[in-house]
Amino acid sequence: MRRYLVPVLATFIGAAGSYAFAAGTHTVVQSEKKFSEAELTIAKGDTLVFKNEDPFTHNVYSQSPGIAFELKVQKPGESSDIKFDREGSGEIRCAIHPQMKMKLTVK
């Protein structure tokens, strides 16, 4: 019995620790070839979840300094997490649908 107690305690303490330092999570939905947010400001260390609710593929990316990333092919129904560890700001776009744009600031 005792040998099971240690991992359980470790898991509990680990969960409490990560809860105490938990950074924010924000969700941006892609629907009808639009982002659900036109403009978003988040804190350094926060995570953005991009959720594709369209019936077709998107490729969300940014080339702006500090926030550059690329999700590559994101199929219908898929969610992707991006953690932003650096300060920066700029535009997030979709490589497939040029009309899709939003502004992101990480500070």
- Please give the Cα distance from 64 to 53 (Å, whole number): 25
Q: Pattern 43-62, binding to Cu ion, x per CB under 5 A?
A: ---------------x----
- Please give the Cα distance from 94 to 1 (Å, whole number): 53
Radius of gyration of the chain measured on its C-alpha atoms: 17
Q: Pattern 82-101, binding to Cu ion, x per CB under 5 A?
A: ------------x-xx----
AA identity, residue 65: P
Q: Binding to Cu ion by residue 28, rule CB under 5 A?
A: no
Q: Which is nearer to Cu ion, 7 or 55 (CB)?
A: 55
Q: Which is nearer to Cu ion, 40 or 96 (CB)?
A: 96
- Classify 69 as helix, strand or coil: strand
Q: Which is nearer to Cu ion, 71 or 106 (CB)?
A: 71
DSSP secondary structure letter of residue 58: B
Return residues touching Cu ion (CB under 5 A).
Answer: 58, 94, 96-97
